């Protein structure tokens, strides 16, 4: 099925765009904004608002019809098939399949001080009514908090014999998170630990596809809770056992 953006009628293609140009407002500048919109594939773009927002800066709001379709059949997403088990089910599976507790270590790494995300997954109280991993029987959850260097993280992982590493990254400005995440993978590899753990990333701008690309086993963005992560962990551990 081919689809297009929808304003108020099927296939009208209507989209809204806004941006700033680093020049003062003028008829010419407005025309430049229109040209850019055309360049984006909008037919008949209409500059519905333009405003000077500081010496030599002007802001534009544009509506126009996008002259492009996307073919849904051709879209492949590396989507995590969520098995979405409940806390109870997960605890049951662990009890029946594993002799000792699964050790999960989490941290917000690098200079990132955002802990709310990793806490949401790990802490007792959890998030939005979903209990965190600390409350799961059969899981030993160790939350190292924020600003943990990759080196310290690995040191503790080794000491605690971690089965699973959870990395949270929130600050994405200038793609610092990518660097941090890749560094960890490299460090793990050089210490020959990469294959011994399940490595999972998470954060506001993380998704499964991105995480896979960076060499992680999975990635979780907003809207995921402890049970989603635990489900993945269990499935993956059982899988690896079989191999």
Sort strands 42-52 and 58-66 into parallel, antiparallel or unpaired. antiparallel
User: From the list 4, 7, 101, 156, which residue makes contact with other proteins (rule: CB under 8 A)?
Assistant: 7
What sign for the dihedral angle of Cα 211, 103, 83, 171?
negative
Is 125 a catalytic site residue?
yes
Residue 229 touches which of a second copy, ligand B12, other proteins, none (Cβ within 5-8 Å per kind): ligand B12
**Site for ligand B12, residues 150 to 189, rule: CB under 6 A:** 166-168, 170-173
Are 46 and 78 in contact by the 8 Å Cβ rule? The answer is no
CA separation, residue 116 to residues 123, 146, 148, 202, 216 (Å): 10, 10, 15, 12, 21
User: From the list 26, 28, 43, 54, which residue makes contact with other proteins (rule: CB under 8 A)?
Assistant: 54
User: Which one is catalytic: 125, 155, 161, 179?
Assistant: 125
Q: How many CB atoms lie within 10 A of CB 208?
A: 21
Residue 9 CB partners (closer than 8 Å, separation 6+): none
User: From the list 31, 83, 137, 190, which residue makes contact with a second copy (rule: CB under 8 A)?
Assistant: 31
Residue 53 touches which of ligand B12, other proteins, a second copy, none (Cβ within 5-8 Å per kind): other proteins
**Site for ligand B12, residues 111 to 130, rule: CB under 6 A:** 111-118, 120-121, 127
Between 40 and 103, name the residue whose CB sits nearer to a second copy: 40
Residue 224 touches which of other proteins, ligand B12, a second copy, none (Cβ within 5-8 Å per kind): ligand B12
- Looking up tokens 């405003």 gives 51
What SS3 state is found at 92?
A: helix
Q: How far is the CB of 94 from other proteins (least distance, A)?
A: 27
Query: Residue-wise over 2-26: b if at least 16 C-beta within 10 A, else e?
Result: eebeeeeeeeebbbebeeebeeebe
Between 138 and 219, name the residue whose CB sits nearer to ligand B12: 219
What x/- string results for residues 79 through 108 when contact with a second copy is judged by CB under 8 A?
x-----------------------------
Listed ranges 64-72, 93-101, 131-139, 179-187: which one lies at the site for a second copy (CB under 8 A): 64-72
Are 163 and 229 in contact by the 8 Å Cβ rule? The answer is no
Residues with catalytic function: 125
């Amino acid at each position: 099925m081919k689809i297009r953006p929808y304003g108020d009628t099927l296939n009208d293609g209507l989209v809204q765009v806004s941006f700033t140009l680093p020049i003062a407002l003028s008829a010419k500048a407005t025309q430049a904004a229109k040209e850019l919109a055309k360049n984006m594939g909008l037919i008949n773009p209409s500059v519905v608002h333009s405003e000077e927002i500081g010496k030599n800066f002007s802001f534009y709001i544009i509506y126009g019809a996008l002259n492009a379709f996307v073919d849904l059949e051709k879209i492949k997403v590396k989507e995590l098939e969520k098995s979405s088990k409940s806390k109870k089910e997960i605890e049951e599976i662990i009890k029946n399949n594993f002799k000792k507790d699964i050790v999960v270590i989490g941290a917000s790494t690098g200079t990132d001080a955002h802990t709310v995300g990793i806490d949401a997954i790990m802490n007792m109280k959890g998030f939005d009514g979903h209990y965190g991993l600390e409350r799961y029987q059969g899981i030993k959850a160790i939350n190292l908090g924020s600003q943990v260097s990759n080196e310290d993280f690995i040191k503790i992982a080794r000491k605690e014999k971690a089965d699973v590493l959870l990395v949270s990254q929130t600050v994405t400005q200038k793609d610092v998170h990518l660097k941090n995440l890749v560094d960890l993978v490299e460090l793990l590899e050089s210490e020959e630990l990469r294959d011994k753990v399940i490595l999972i990333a998470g954060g506001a701008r993380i998704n499964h596809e991105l995480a896979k690309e960076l060499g992680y086993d999975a990635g979780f963005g907003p809207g995921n809770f402890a049970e989603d992560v635990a489900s993945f962990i269990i499935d993956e551990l059982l899988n690896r056992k079989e191999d």
